């Protein structure tokens, strides 16, 4: 397979065998971005857990101190005053019956769905549609709540949800490459700290096996174990 000039240049500029500090990895990725759009900074963590066991299913939320750098489209499914509260707080859409029908019809032009507990019986009927899209509200992630104002503002400010996949990897975006380096470092550290905080008591051996930072179109750079150990 022929390698493009962009990829060839990137491969020459990086050392795939090197273990990077978080800051150096970010600076390297920023220096190598050559595409016509602003790339995201992605963080992938391989954990020493078995997601088949409920007590090792790592999932949660974290508020990135400097936001995600992207516009998050939020739908709040709620009735009456709570729908108005959601719109006043900055939600893009709010209501119930109309959106139940739109989702049934295939509409999914949103990034986060928040719901009040009193409508979850209706929202739950859409589980087969919302689940595969990662949009099903969940109390553990703060997306089933009566405090819709707080939930909307947190999501808009940079609160992200994460969940380990069946291979033991957690993968999220922690900002945009056009952020200042130190802000991306802060976001990455916030995510790593939350992952470490969620270590299950039943996890044996090494918990954080490896961490890689990458850009949307760029290479993955391995973060040194010494760097991970401080979080």
Same domain, 152 and 177: no
The reply to whether 63 and 170 lie within a common domain is: yes
| Domain shared by 51 and 91, yes or no | no
Domain boundary among 157, 178, 199: 157
Q: Which distant-in-sequence residues (6+ apart) come within 8 Å of 137 by Cβ?
A: 77, 113, 114, 115, 120, 123, 143, 144
Q: What's the domain range around 135?
A: 74-157
Q: Are 14 and 199 in contact (CB under 8 A)?
A: no
The answer to whether 164 and 59 are in contact (CB under 8 A) is: yes
Is the domain of 150 the same as that of 80?
yes
Q: What is the DSSP string of 108-163?
A: ---SEEEE-GGGHHHHGGGHHHHTTTT----GGGT-B-S-HHHHHHHHHHTEEEEE
Pair 91, 126 in one domain: yes
Q: Tell whether 90 and 119 lie within a shared domain.
A: yes
Residue 11, in any domain of the structure: no
On the 0-12 / 13-18 / 19+ scale of CB atoms within 10 A, 202 is exposed
Strand partners, 121: none
Residue 7 lies in a domain: no
Within a domain: residue 95?
yes
Residue that terminates a domain, selected from 140, 157, 174? 157
Q: What CATH number has the domain bearing residue 45?
A: 3.30.190.20
DSSP states of 198-228: T--TT--S-SEEEEEEEETTS-EEEBPHHHH
Compute CA distances 114 → 33, 81, 138, whole Å. Answer: 35, 15, 8
What confidence score (pLDDT) does residue 9 get? 60
Specify the number of domains making up the chain.
2
38 and 50 co-located in one domain: yes
Same-domain check for residues 213 and 168: yes
Do 60 and 84 belong to one domain? no
- Find the CATH number of the domain harbouring 124: 3.40.50.790
Q: How far apart are CA 17 and CA 138, in angstroms?
A: 40
- Cα dihedral 78, 79, 85, 86, rounded to 10, equals 30
pLDDT of residue 231: 46
Q: Is residue 191 located within the same domain as residue 138?
A: no
Chunk the chain into consecutive blocks of 10 residues (it has 231) and report each block's average pLDDT, rounded to whole numbers. Answer: 59 75 95 88 95 90 92 95 96 96 94 96 94 90 94 93 93 95 96 93 89 92 81 46
Point out the domain boundary residue: 157, 183, 200: 157
Distance set, CA 68 to CA 43, 44, 54, 89, 171 (Å): 13, 16, 29, 18, 14
Q: Are residues 86 and 149 in the same domain?
A: yes
Look at residue 146 and tell me if it is in a domain. yes
């Amino acid at each position: 397979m022929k390698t493009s000039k962009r990829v060839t240049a990137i491969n020459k500029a990086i050392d795939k065998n090197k273990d990077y500090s978080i800051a150096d990895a970010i600076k390297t990725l920023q220096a190598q971005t050559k595409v016509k759009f602003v790339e995201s900074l992605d963080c992938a963590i391989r954990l020493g857990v078995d997601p088949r066991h409920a007590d090792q299913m790592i999932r949660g939320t974290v508020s990135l101190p400097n936001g995600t750098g992207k516009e998050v489209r939020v739908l709040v499914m709620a009735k009456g005053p709570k729908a108005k509260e959601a719109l006043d707080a900055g939600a893009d859409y709010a209501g119930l019956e109309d959106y139940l029908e739109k989702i049934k019809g295939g509409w999914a032009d949103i990034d986060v769905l928040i719901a009040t507990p009193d409508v979850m019986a209706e929202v739950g009927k859409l589980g087969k549609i919302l689940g595969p899209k990662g949009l099903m509200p969940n109390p553990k992630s703060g997306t089933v709540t009566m405090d819709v104002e707080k939930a909307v503002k947190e999501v808009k400010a940079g609160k992200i949800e994460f969940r380990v996949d069946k291979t033991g990897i957690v993968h999220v975006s922690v900002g945009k490459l056009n952020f200042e380096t130190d802000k991306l470092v802060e976001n990455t550290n916030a995510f790593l700290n939350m992952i470490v905080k969620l270590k299950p008591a039943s996890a044996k051996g090494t918990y954080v096996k490896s961490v890689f930072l990458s850009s949307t179109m760029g290479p993955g750079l391995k973060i040194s174990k010494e760097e991970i150990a401080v979080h």
